Structure 1
Amino acid sequence: MSTKRIAPSKISYTTLMKAFAMSGQPKLANRVFDEMMRDPRVKVNLIAYNMLVEGYCRLGLTKDAKRVVSSMKENRFYPNVATYGSLANGVSLARKPGDAPLLWKEIKERCEVKKKGECEGDSSNPSLPMLEPDEGSLDIS
């Protein structure tokens, strides 16, 4: 693309990141992500962050995945059902059952924000957006 002077898009970046993540090369996915961050023509989005999380979690590298989630939150992107699904798989692969209750606690808190917001008219913690899972997205086989 560079030699043909074709500017990469959000889609081309995330597609390349997904290819690296799915093939067990999360560090290469991270390099593409870093390039995407430096590219003024595109803006990083939740999908890009989720590709990184998934790439690390597929190998059970939960420490790296948590680092990405922290960075994500610092940049005002919040985990969604896909993020939590990847983290749950990563915890399982890493054989770190002690991490599961912490993950579940965060998910429950995010869902409770929604319940409180529905009852009171607004969320008690505006910096923490509600999590909106649905039946299909929670069906992990």
Structure 2
Amino acid sequence: MSSVVSYNILIDGCTMVVDSAGALEYFNERRSREIAPTKISYTTLMKAFSISGEALLLWNEIKERCGVKKEGEDSNSPSPPPLGPDEGLLDTLAGICVRAAFFRKALEIVACMEENGIPSNKTKYTRIYVEMHSRMFTSKHASKARQDRRIEKKNAAEAFKFWLGLPNSYNGSEWRLEPGVDYASDFA
């Protein structure tokens, strides 16, 4: 088997039966045969990983192939064939980051989308944030190391809320959900 389409079908089949290990195995087999993954390949593999957050491991490769270079990186360094930025691919990855509370990565992906003229779905990300993370950082009892990690994560969350347009510490207002209010119905 050597067709990129065949591998995409196999990866999608693994996704349907929730076999992320099998999907990754086919993805890596494709690489060993030097068949370059396509946008559809990455998106399909991310669907397999969306629950576990393993899709973030692909961001560095996707970023490199979309032409987003790291600071100080030589532009003549060998890299895989270019991959044009794709709305579905980047939107899926940004949604996974928001669900997993990787707000710094979500902002990085959204910046890549904006740089390439790809619209981002703020309503979708707001809904995910409100449903999953609106009560973050409420405990005052934790170790010093945990408090330090929490501060870093809170700063990233505040930056993400600022980007979404939600009230945040940058605007001088702290935002909390009121008990007994169904905010999810606002976005249905």
TM bracket (short chain):
0.5 to 0.7
Matched letter for residue 7 of structure 1: A
| Residues 21, 92 of structure 1: alpha-carbon distance in 2 compared, 3 angstrom cutoff | same
User: Match for residue 109 of structure 1?
Assistant: none
| Residues 3, 46 of structure 1: alpha-carbon distance in 2 compared, 3 angstrom cutoff | same
2:131 corresponds to which of 83, 88, 92: 92
1:1-141 alignment, distance < 5 Å: 1-37=30-66, 39-80=80-121, 84-95=123-134, 99=161, 102-103=165-166, 140=188
User: Match for residue 130 of structure 1?
Assistant: none
Conserved? CA contact 2:36–2:81, under 8 Å: no
Conserved? CA contact 2:66–2:84, under 8 Å: yes
Conserved? CA contact 1:20–1:26, under 8 Å: yes
Give the superposed CA RMSD.
Answer: 3.2
* Counterpart-to-counterpart distance in 2, 1:51 and 1:40: 22
* Counterpart-to-counterpart distance in 2, 1:91 and 1:61: 15
Matched letter for residue 90 of structure 1: Y
Matched letter for residue 84 of structure 2: K
Matched letter for residue 16 of structure 1: L
User: Match for residue 27 of structure 2?
Assistant: none
TM-score computed with the length of structure 2 as normaliser: 0.44
Bigger radius of gyration: 2
The alignment covers a number of residue pairs equal to 105
| Residues 91, 15 of structure 1: alpha-carbon distance in 2 compared, 3 angstrom cutoff | same
- Give structure 1 stretches of 5+ with no counterpart: 105-137
TM-score computed with the length of structure 1 as normaliser: 0.56
Q: Percent identity?
A: 28
Matched letter for residue 84 of structure 1: T
